Structure 1
């Protein structure tokens, strides 16, 4: 990492009204800002994406599934609590953020959704280890709410349960959606396949840490949050075949980038029959040398966020600053339910 990089270099002014509070009427109806490899900007629509891809390209999607991770309740002693499950660690255990007027102690009971009691087993840093009286995923599905990002001001409803989830979501475990994938519907996926554009999947369970601000002024002092990922052997084979054929690896979302590049760091295991998997704290900033990713489809990211730093690493700091200024001036919709950007590496 470049030791001279500072947080203030990744700021921009965003009018509040450009933060999308709801998705487009149809998934594919978003706008698409195209930053080409020469650094030129093109205003397009998301339905134009197939024309920007080539028959030998490989699209890599994150197939994580958002769980209904938010629960309201009270402590056995009576105080209100809000629980956000960060990671399911076992059939009946999970690590969670717990908001309460006073932190619960080990052995304490949390009465959640008025339906069941979870036991506090202890703490791991800022997270609490909880034991549920049954399968965590089943109880969350029955009693939990979809954990919308903090900048979306309405409570999650049935529409959010569907639209804050990709159409190809398979592996439950995320508490935030891989939002670049929200623009695809099944018809678009089938259209791309018909054009000879291959598709592969990775899994990275997005954590609430994706919304945490970077607090260190020097980026070299920032400690990245951990997220669980897996890259299956069939995806590794497709990556190699794509490169051998002269195609591009196009990551759908920054989470796909982090999974692919984290797997590349474990390249010695790439010949193994099983998946490459583990926890990743990979922090991608300008100067990073990408191993797999040639292009990226992404949404627009928060000022001073690690994701803005990642896209700046791929395209360059000046082109990204120019692209974001253009997006604000052109009134693109920002963040999770907002418009998309297609970035080609120089």
Structure 2
């Protein structure tokens, strides 16, 4: 049977009725007390997240996304007193590298979403805050050109020696998802981060990981499960609704990834034993690794170009990659890093995983329950096939909590 062309998929075929009261507005007091719906070869079982070590296949390698959410929402004031919200999306100048941009002192330019911007006609907006050493600091923002619903914002601040990361930590707010319609709290500052978060840069949490506790991670290690970490800095595009009738009309957002050579070696040594991704961002990163390596093998002359997997690349390269194994692709990527004299892969991914996609690296997924008509739900449908609907119907019929602060699932197709 011919695989469906994901560009022709109608997003309205991937919907379900999600009552507002089923969206979890707050996290549970105990991370691991969340429920866990296990789908194993189409059979559904109700568990709790702390049961995970008993439910994973033997010899599983779990891959986590260790990105850390930055306090990317800034609430500034116009000279007349009105509030303007600036949601920092990505750095533009003097650095496009997220890590360098967050360490930039004094001034920088970011692409931002602007809330209440129609009342901000011209001139700067300002925000005063207390730096970590207690001294008063001031941030000034000036809007430049608008583009596709965003604006370039020039920031400058005093004391000028503060890095922009410190400005965000001291002055910013956590960017809770738009469906959590309340201000962020001190509880969110802890619970909207994974316990293993390390690399600052996300503007949304990799929420599948919110259920893990240090105790659960220790138990997994004691039981002999391997773990590894990748970094994908989750962008605001993860909440971008699909407005086109067909997926061909939906532009997938691009996100930066960082993966060590050690992780590539770990994946190669672990094969062919199972790999389970913790969250859709970890899954997209792992599958991106395959396509980066396959691209190096298919077009060796392009190795000097930026490492990027585009939205439709897997579907357009399907024939060229038919005989490229995951081991060959990962080895090619590792050799590319060795030739470049680096132990860290820096790349970007725009990968859209939808029905018609063939998974190369992962064998299962831990993930929360996603919004109707979303690219995240398309990914689940690609993994489970038509069984995705039975999983969601079961979750709705049995009181599971949905979305970022909701319950979890272990999907083993």
TM-score, length-scaled by structure 2: 0.78
Name 1:200's counterpart in structure 2: 228
Aligned residues: 340
Distance across 1 between alignment mates of 2:359 and 2:109 = 36
Structure 2 residue aligned with 1:119, among 142, 145, 161? Answer: 142
Q: Is 1:258 matched with 2:284?
A: yes
Please tell me whether the aligned partners of residues 263 and 277 of structure 1 are also in contact (alpha carbons under 8 angstroms). no
How has the CA–CA distance of structure 1 residues 144 and 3 changed in structure 2, closer, same or farther, with 3 Å as cutoff? closer
Structure 2 residue aligned with 1:276, among 336, 342, 345? Answer: 345
Residue 103 of structure 1 deviates from its aligned partner by 7.7
Name 1:296's counterpart in structure 2: 365
How has the CA–CA distance of structure 1 residues 247 and 113 changed in structure 2, closer, same or farther, with 3 Å as cutoff? farther
Q: Is 1:321 matched with 2:349?
A: no
Please tell me whether the aligned partners of residues 124 and 140 of structure 2 are also in contact (alpha carbons under 8 angstroms). yes
Residue 113 of structure 1 deviates from its aligned partner by 5.0
Distance across 1 between alignment mates of 2:361 and 2:26 = 33
Distance across 2 between alignment mates of 1:12 and 1:277 = 37
Please tell me whether the aligned partners of residues 53 and 197 of structure 1 are also in contact (alpha carbons under 8 angstroms). no
Distance across 2 between alignment mates of 1:83 and 1:3 = 33
Residue 281 of structure 1 deviates from its aligned partner by 1.1
Residue 48 of structure 1 deviates from its aligned partner by 1.1
Secondary structure of the residue aligned to 1:102 is helix
Distance across 2 between alignment mates of 1:54 and 1:320 = 20
The worse-fitting range, judged by mean Cα deviation, of 254-263 and 94-103 is: 94-103
Please tell me whether the aligned partners of residues 225 and 281 of structure 1 are also in contact (alpha carbons under 8 angstroms). yes
Distance across 1 between alignment mates of 2:348 and 2:276 = 23
Name 2:63's counterpart in structure 1: 60
Name 2:326's counterpart in structure 1: none
Residue 87 of structure 1 deviates from its aligned partner by 2.3
Larger-Rg structure = 2
Matches within 5 A, 1:1-346: 1-37=5-41, 39-76=42-79, 79-88=82-91, 89=96, 90=101, 91=104, 92-102=108-118, 108-113=123-128, 115-132=138-155, 133=157, 134=160, 135-243=163-271, 246-267=272-293, 268=296, 269-271=333-335, 272-273=337-338, 274-316=343-385, 318-345=386-413
Secondary structure of the residue aligned to 1:44 is strand
TM-score, length-scaled by structure 1: 0.93
CA offsets 1:142-179 (integer angstroms, 9 cap, x no match) = 01111111111221110000000000000111111000
CA offsets 1:273-300 (integer angstroms, 9 cap, x no match) = 3333222111110010112111000000
Structure 1 residues not aligned, in runs of 5+: none
Distance across 2 between alignment mates of 1:50 and 1:294 = 16
Secondary structure of the residue aligned to 2:390 is helix
CA offsets 1:2-29 (integer angstroms, 9 cap, x no match) = 3431011110001111100111111100
Structure 2 residues not aligned, in runs of 5+: 130-137, 297-332
Distance across 2 between alignment mates of 1:260 and 1:125 = 30
Residue 54 of structure 1 deviates from its aligned partner by 3.8
Please tell me whether the aligned partners of residues 59 and 273 of structure 2 are also in contact (alpha carbons under 8 angstroms). yes
Distance across 2 between alignment mates of 1:70 and 1:236 = 34
Distance across 2 between alignment mates of 1:255 and 1:339 = 17
Q: CA RMSD in A?
A: 1.8
CA offsets 1:40-94 (integer angstroms, 9 cap, x no match) = 1111111111012244211000000001111111335655311111124422332
